[in-house]
């Protein structure tokens, strides 16, 4: 409640209070005046009675002393009462009783005087005196009664009026309190609504001023009502208000402007939004931009559609990068396909010539070893070893190409059984290295069984190969669940790998150690990476030189085993 209503209420209450006080004071003054008049009338009555009685007493005493004595004896109580009456003024009811008692005593006095002997004149005087006393007493009694009754009636009326005024004032105050409380609630609700509206207006202005997205509101004619500063700048405007009342036809060329209008009118008609639509924006100067747009119906408080609300984001750079990436991926896909074809052709078609070279070099070594000079023997040995390495390289290259060309569909596979068969295949190598291989119970996975066995075999072969001299290999294969995948690990106690080679070792033909230190083609881990990639998993390594190596790879859980 504001200050002004409070002041009005206080003034009204003060006026009502002053009126009540004035009425009360008026009634008190009137009642006091009436009491004074009644006291004066009572005093006059007592004085008259006393004077009359004294006159009678003196008159009787002048005629005969015995009459006076008799008077005093019979009327001692009357004189005593008169004396007391002069000193004390009783209340209203007592006054009526006194006056009535005095009247009775006056009548008794008159009766007694009739019995007194005397002359006729004295009797007449006594008779007249008695009648005068009686008349005066009756007159005073009637006047006193009228004064008292009038005062009582006025007092009752004043009290009744005062009570009615108080009741009316209380009712008015009650109604005013209820009204003021209701007004205060309305004022508080209105104030809260205004504050909330101010906050929302502040938030909206900040959003439209600072959001990087293109935000806009349109009416049913697809005319801009409000828009963000970034969209205004996109239109080449300095002030967003300059776009109000305009449409896409004022900024874009066909077909984008027409398509945008049709989309918005369809939203207004159907109430169905357009979500994340990629739009090509054609500008008057001929250049093209791209935007990802979401448009929804704009509704009022009653739920009626009064326009559209849209958010779009410029994705021109993103689309250009995506298009470039798609071009690169297509080129890479073609290159990979060509590489796979080349690898298959090379590994397959070169097998026969290579076998001939290898066979003839071995024949030369057998026939002419020791018959030629030492250089010839060394050269023949180089040729034989080169042919063997080339044979292994072609075989590995053929295996690499078959990861995709000869792959089988993925299916639920028992990794425990596949791992056991892998150990059987590597039994001789395990015994030669005096290796100890342990493993956790392995789960069922979604995999190509042949490629899973090749993956296990390549990782175990690496662990058996890269060992510290004189130290028996200790290898452990573990597994843990992680969401919808199994994370496998192959840990050894070998020579380890420096961190700078972690990404290099998974590339084809890449080697960390020399051929002389550890023979190999550098294709084994590349095959592992390609197998895991085909299974939509990941493969990585953790290692330190001299502290062993742990290879990790992830595979999907078999259907039915996902919690």
Residue bearing the bigger pLDDT, 21 or 558: 558
Is residue 186 over pLDDT 90? no
Is residue 92 over pLDDT 50? no
- Which pLDDT score, from 0 to 100, does residue 244 have? 87
Residue bearing the bigger pLDDT, 127 or 277: 277
Lowest average pLDDT, out of 380-394, 430-444, 521-535, goes to 380-394
Do 338 and 393 belong together in one domain? yes
Q: Which of 286, 314, 342 is the last residue of a domain?
A: 314
How far from chain centre, in Å, is Cα 539? 43
Is residue 191 over pLDDT 90? no
Do 160 and 12 belong together in one domain? yes
What are the two backbone dihedrals, phi and then psi, of residue 556, each rounded to the nearest 5 degrees? -70, 145
- Which pLDDT score, from 0 to 100, does residue 406 have? 67
Do 18 and 136 belong together in one domain? yes
273 located within any domain: yes
Structure tokens at 459: 């990782």
- Which pLDDT score, from 0 to 100, does residue 491 have? 95
Calpha distance 343→350 (Å, rounded): 10
Average pLDDT, the chain: 74
Rounded mean pLDDT, 508-530? 71
| Residues contacting residue 72 through CB under 8 Å, at least 6 positions apart | 57, 79
Instruction: Give the whole-number percent of the chain exceeding pLDDT 90.
Output: 17
**CATH number of the domain that residue 251 is part of:** 3.30.450.20
What are the two backbone dihedrals, phi and then psi, of residue 373, each rounded to the nearest 5 degrees? -75, 175
Question: What distances in angstroms separate CA 433 from CA 242, 423, 461, 476, 518, one per listed residue?
Answer: 83, 13, 11, 15, 14
186 located within any domain: no
Rounded mean pLDDT, 88-106? 42
Rounded mean pLDDT, 32-38? 58
- Which pLDDT score, from 0 to 100, does residue 460 have? 93
- Which pLDDT score, from 0 to 100, does residue 456 have? 94
Residue bearing the bigger pLDDT, 538 or 185: 538
Do 413 and 510 belong together in one domain? yes
Q: Please state whether the peptide bond connecting residue 255 to the residue before it is cis, i.e. omega within 30 degrees of 0.
A: yes
DSSP-derived secondary structure letter, 557: B
Lowest average pLDDT, out of 9-13, 287-291, 301-305, 337-341, goes to 9-13
CB atoms within 10 A of CB 316: 13
**Dihedral angle over CA of 146, 147, 150, 156, nearest 10:** -130
280 located within any domain: yes
192 located within any domain: no
199 located within any domain: no
Lowest average pLDDT, out of 159-173, 209-223, 247-261, 485-499, goes to 159-173
Q: Which range in 246-250, 364-368, 514-518 is most confidently predicted, on average pLDDT?
A: 246-250
Query: Which band of pLDDT confidence, cut at 50, 70 and 90, is reported for residue 552?
Result: very high
- Which pLDDT score, from 0 to 100, does residue 110 have? 46
524 located within any domain: yes
Residue bearing the bigger pLDDT, 540 or 124: 540
Query: Which band of pLDDT confidence, cut at 50, 70 and 90, is reported for residue 94?
Result: very low
Do 161 and 39 belong together in one domain? yes
Residue bearing the bigger pLDDT, 384 or 549: 549
Lowest average pLDDT, out of 115-124, 206-215, 454-463, 515-524, goes to 115-124
Beta carbons of 291 and 312 less than 8 angstroms apart? yes
Query: Which band of pLDDT confidence, cut at 50, 70 and 90, is reported for residue 24?
Result: low
Instruction: Give the whole-number percent of the chain exceeding pLDDT 70.
Output: 62
Calpha distance 49→43 (Å, rounded): 10
**Dihedral angle over CA of 79, 85, 91, 93, nearest 10:** 20
- Which pLDDT score, from 0 to 100, does residue 328 have? 87
Do 422 and 501 belong together in one domain? yes
31 located within any domain: yes
Do 420 and 389 belong together in one domain? no
Q: Partners of 87 in the beta sheet?
A: none
| Residues contacting residue 186 through CB under 8 Å, at least 6 positions apart | none
Do 92 and 171 belong together in one domain? yes
DSSP characters over 517-533:
TS---S-HHHHHHHHHH
Calpha distance 428→418 (Å, rounded): 18
Q: Which range in 23-27, 81-85, 262-266, 485-489 is most confidently predicted, on average pLDDT?
A: 485-489
Using CB atoms within 10 Å of the CB of residue 553, give its burial: 0 to 12 exposed, 13 to 18 middle, 19+ buried: buried
Calpha distance 22→165 (Å, rounded): 12
Is residue 225 over pLDDT 70? yes
- Which pLDDT score, from 0 to 100, does residue 90 have? 41
CB atoms within 10 A of CB 348: 13
Q: How many domains does the chain divide into?
A: 4
Do 505 and 548 belong together in one domain? yes
Residue bearing the bigger pLDDT, 177 or 62: 177
pLDDT single digits (tens) 309-347: 888 888 888 888 888 888 888 887 787 777 667 666 666
Residue bearing the bigger pLDDT, 80 or 511: 511
Q: Which of 163, 179, 195 is the last residue of a domain?
A: 179
State which residues form the domain around 310.
Answer: 211-314
Rounded mean pLDDT, 181-186? 78
Query: Which band of pLDDT confidence, cut at 50, 70 and 90, is reported for residue 78?
Result: very low
Do 390 and 422 belong together in one domain? no
| Residues contacting residue 294 through CB under 8 Å, at least 6 positions apart | 273, 274, 275, 276, 277, 310, 311, 312
- Which pLDDT score, from 0 to 100, does residue 193 have? 79
Do 87 and 173 belong together in one domain? yes
Calpha distance 41→29 (Å, rounded): 18
Do 222 and 352 belong together in one domain? no
166 located within any domain: yes
| Residues contacting residue 401 through CB under 8 Å, at least 6 positions apart | 340, 343, 344, 347
**Dihedral angle over CA of 351, 356, 362, 365, nearest 10:** -140
pLDDT single digits (tens) 236-289: 888 888 888 888 898 888 898 888 899 989 999 998 998 988 888 888 888 888
Q: Which of 295, 314, 333 is the last residue of a domain?
A: 314
**CATH number of the domain that residue 544 is part of:** 3.30.565.10
């Amino acid at each position: 409640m504001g200050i002004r209503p409070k002041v009005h209420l206080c003034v009204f209450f003060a006026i009502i209070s002053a009126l009540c006080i004035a009425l009360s004071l008026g009634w008190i003054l009137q009642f006091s005046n009436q009491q004074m008049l009644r006291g004066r009338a009572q005093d006059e009555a007592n004085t008259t009675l006393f004077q009359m009685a004294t006159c009678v007493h003196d008159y009787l005493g002048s005629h005969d002393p015995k009459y006076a004595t008799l008077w005093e004896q019979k009327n001692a109580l009357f004189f005593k009462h008169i004396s007391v009456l002069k000193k004390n003024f009783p209340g209203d009811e007592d006054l009526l009783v006194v006056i009535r008692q005095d009247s009775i005593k006056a009548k008794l006095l008159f009766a007694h005087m009739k019995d007194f002997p005397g002359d006729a004149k004295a009797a007449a005087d006594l008779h007249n005196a008695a009648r005068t006393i009686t008349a005066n007493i009756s007159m005073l009694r009637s006047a006193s009664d009228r004064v008292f009754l009038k005062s009582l009636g006025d007092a009752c009326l004043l009290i009744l009026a005062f009570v009615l005024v108080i009741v009316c004032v209380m009712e008015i105050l009650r109604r005013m309190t209820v009204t003021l409380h209701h007004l205060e609630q309305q004022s508080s609700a209105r104030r809260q609504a205004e504050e909330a509206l101010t906050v929302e207006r502040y938030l909206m202005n900040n959003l439209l001023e600072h959001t990087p997205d293109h935000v806009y509101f349109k009416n049913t004619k697809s005319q801009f009502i409000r828009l963000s500063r970034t969209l205004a700048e996109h239109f080449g405007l300095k002030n967003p208000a300059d776009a109000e009342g305009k449409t896409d036809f004022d900024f874009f060329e066909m077909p984008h402007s027409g398509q945008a209008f049709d989309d918005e009118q369809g939203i207004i008609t159907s109430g169905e939004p357009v979500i994340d639509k990629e739009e090509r924006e054609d500008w008057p100067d001929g250049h093209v931009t791209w935007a990802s747009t979401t448009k929804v119906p704009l509704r009022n408080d009653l739920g009626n559609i009064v326009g559209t609300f849209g958010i779009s984001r410029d994705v021109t750079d993103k689309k250009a990068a995506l298009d470039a990436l798609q071009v690169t991926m297509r080129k890479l896909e073609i290159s990979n396909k060509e590489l796979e074809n080349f690898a298959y052709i090379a590994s397959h078609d070169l097998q026969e010539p290579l076998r001939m070279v290898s066979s003839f070099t071995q024949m030369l070594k057998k026939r002419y070893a020791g018959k030629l000079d030492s250089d010839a023997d060394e050269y023949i040995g180089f040729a034989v070893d080169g042919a063997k390495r080339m044979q292994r390289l072609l075989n590995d290259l053929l295996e690499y190409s078959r990861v995709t060309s000869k792959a089988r569909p993925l299916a639920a596979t028992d990794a425990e059984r596949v791992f056991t068969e892998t150990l059987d295949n590597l039994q001789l190598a395990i015994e030669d290295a005096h290796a100890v291989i342990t493993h956790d119970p392995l789960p069922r996975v979604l995999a190509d069984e042949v490629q899973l066995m090749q993956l296990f075999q390549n990782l175990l072969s690496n662990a058996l190969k890269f060992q510290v001299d004189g130290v028996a290999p200790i290898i452990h294969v573990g597994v843990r669940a992680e969401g919808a995948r199994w994370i496998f690990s192959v840990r050894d106690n070998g020579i380890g790998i420096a961190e700078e080679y972690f990404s290099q070792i998974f590339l084809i033909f890449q080697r960390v150690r020399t051929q002389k230190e550890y023979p190999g083609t550098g294709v084994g881990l590349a095959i592992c990476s390609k197998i895991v990639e085909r299974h939509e998993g990941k493969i990585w390594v953790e290692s330190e030189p001299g502290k062993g190596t742990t290879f990790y790879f992830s595979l999907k859980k078999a259907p039915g085993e996902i919690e």
